[in-house]
A and B are shown apart, each in its own frame.
Chain A
Amino acid sequence: MTELQYKETVVFERPTALTPTQTTYCPGCTHGVAHRLIAEVIDEMGIRDDTIGVAPVGCAVFAYRFFDVDFVEAAHGRAPAMATGIKRSLPDRFVFTYQGDGDLVSIGMAEITHAAARGENITVIFINNANYGMTGGQMAPTTLPGQKTTSSPTGRDVELAGYPIQMAELIASIQGTSYVVRRSLHDARNIRQAKKAIRTAFEVQKRGLGFAMVELLSTCPTNWHLTPPDAMNWLKENMLPVYPLGDYKIHDAVKSAGI
């Protein structure tokens, strides 16, 4: 009997908007998933030559190395201000910022809030992993009540350190925003939904409909001291109740554009 011959069809491959380099992220970190989703959206929309990214300070500080698009590096937390300048001077480009919770919620709170209030026509991708990853897992504004970190070794005490900031809800309450959603990266189904949200956020910018932010719940296996699959479960069990997924604001103009 002769062996069957097979035709190979590619179902999935590495997006071309990622450079052929290894990332600096720890094994199992969902920063890589977020990068890949953005790259897939850039590929699908065919906007690789027209996209300018703004990198943050934090684990994703080297994001400019991993995307094969134009990139600038912003001062800590100032990515939305930089993106504002780029978008206003080059309105035909797609400008997105990629920020973590230390960058966006902590030091960059003023910039993100005011960029949202001005309704800047930019896309913000916000990675929420409930701690400061790059500096060794300290407590962030997004750390959960009771969560142990290197700077809250007995768990976050809300009497002392306050409550986590729910960024999607906060930004959605600002009148200038158009599209604010929260998605998670803890399993394949949610990752697919996150990609749809990122695509919509770029489509919002393409149509000039204003400020779009996608908050992505993300894992930090190294600083949570869990294996990558366990970190996915930890996110599902502990972060989802504090950070409910959903569409916090979809402006009527976005709805009527049918995207």
Chain B
Amino acid sequence: MPAKGKIVVNDFYCKACGLCVSVCPTQVIQLAPERLNVRGYHPAEQFQDGCIACATCAMVCPDAAITVYRLTPVAEQEA
């Protein structure tokens, strides 16, 4: 299935509360298991394809750390 969307979490703001993880309908967000941010939290990250750009994670994020992108395929240039 082609990607429909993606999220980018700004580590600077993320406090690893896990609300985005709990609401993601496609379960593509996790708290990074082996990475810390400057405050010592394991920041949230998108760890697999399947994001549908619904922005539910961004809607519940208390720290406005998430940017949501919708991905639309671009027709390849004719050679």
Contacts and interface: CB of A to CB of B under 8 A. Distances in A.
Interface of A: 2, 4-15, 18, 22-23, 25-33, 35-36, 39, 187-188, 191-192, 221, 227-229, 232
A4 B62 contact: no
Contacts of B18: 28, 227-229
**Max chain A CB contacts within 10 Å: which of B2, B13, B23, B73?**
B13
B17 A8 contact: no
Given A2-B76, A27-B16, A12 B62 contact: no
B63 A23 contact: yes
B67 A12 contact: yes
A33 B67 contact: no
Contacts of A29: 62
Contact of B15 (A10, A27, A31): A27
A187 B23 contact: yes
B15 A28 contact: yes
12 contacts: A5-B73, A9-B69, A10-B67, A12-B66, A12-B67, A13-B68, A27-B17, A27-B62, A32-B62, A33-B60, A36-B61, A232-B22
Nearest to A3: B76
Contacts of A227: 18
Contact of B58 (A12, A26, A30, A31): A12
Contact of A11 (B2, B5, B64, B76): B5
Contacts of B10: 14
B56 interface: yes
Contacts of A15: 64
A23 B61 CA distance: 12
A229 B19 contact: yes
A39 B58 CA distance: 14
Nearest to B22: A229
Nearest to A5: B74
Interface in B9-65: 10, 12-13, 15-19, 22-23, 39, 41, 53, 55-56, 58-65
A33 B62 contact: yes
B72 A188 contact: no
A40 to B, nearest CB: 9
A127 to B, nearest CB: 12
A28 B73 CA distance: 35
Contacts of B70: 8-9, 11
Given A14-B65, A32-B64, A227-B18, A6 B3 contact: yes
Contact of A191 (B3, B59, B76): B59
Contacts of B73: 4-7
B63 A32 contact: yes
Nearest to B16: A27
Contact of A31 (B22, B41, B62): B62
Contact of B13 (A13, A22, A232): A22
B74 to A, nearest CB: 4
A28 B61 CA distance: 8
Contacts of B23: 187-188
A14 to B, nearest CB: 4
Contacts of A25: 62
Contacts of B65: 14
